[in-house]
Amino acid sequence: MIHTKNKQIQNLKTKNSNKTKIMVEKTNNNFLLKTQMRLMSLKKKSWRFKEDEKKFALSLYYNSPKGYTFMRKFLCLPTVRSLRRWLQNLNLACGINENILEVLKFKLSSSPLSDRAVSIVFDEMSIKQFISYNSQNDMFSGYEDFGNLANFIDSKSILQCNQALVIMLKGIKHSWKQVIGYFL
């Protein structure tokens, strides 16, 4: 009798895992549902997020921080602290930031064409001359730096900078702006 019950339990477990596999295959196109099903089967401490899941969570958070904290009660989403920790690892060096351009491309790809109209704004500001050491990158900052324009001009010099040039994109139809790079 115990043997037959154990066999029935094993058969039910097999059926359950097969149905779960079928459900995952059916949700292949639904990114959020697929992620939630994967994370629900894990303990909260062992959640690991893929790169696209991190980008999705960051875009949710920056659209509405209060909405994000509300959705965290129902969905498997990373903590706000984790989001901030991921952002700390971004390299915000002088030049045009490719990460920001990728996020803008992702965000504006679903917008109508009229919402994608932007103007490029250049703004110069005075900054205090100050040389500092960045231990994370093992380099000194505060000198003239033209970032990723190194192919066109001598990108670094030994002159201390006292001006910063900031490049922004500004929405024409809707009121938004985003810094995409800077040069010292």
- Note down the domain range covering 57: 2-88
Measured CA to CA, the distance from residue 51 to residue 54 in angstroms comes to 5
First to last CA, the chain: 80
Q: Which distant-in-sequence residues (6+ apart) come within 8 Å of 74 by Cβ?
A: none
Entry pTM: 0.49
Q: pLDDT tens digits for 29-79?
A: 565 667 666 666 666 666 677 777 778 788 888 788 888 888 888 777 888
For the chain, give the mean pLDDT: 77
> Do 65 and 143 reside in the same domain of the chain?
no
> Do 101 and 168 reside in the same domain of the chain?
yes
Could you give the 3-state DSSP secondary structure of residue 120? strand
Q: pLDDT tens digits for 70-85?
A: 888 877 788 888 888 8
Domain boundary among 58, 88, 118: 88
> Do 153 and 179 reside in the same domain of the chain?
yes
Q: pLDDT tens digits for 82-96?
A: 888 877 776 677 888
Name the strand (E) or helix (H) holding 39. helix 31-40
> Do 64 and 124 reside in the same domain of the chain?
no
Judge whether 67 and 60 are in contact, CB under 8 Å: yes
Structural domains counted in the chain: 2
> Do 117 and 63 reside in the same domain of the chain?
no
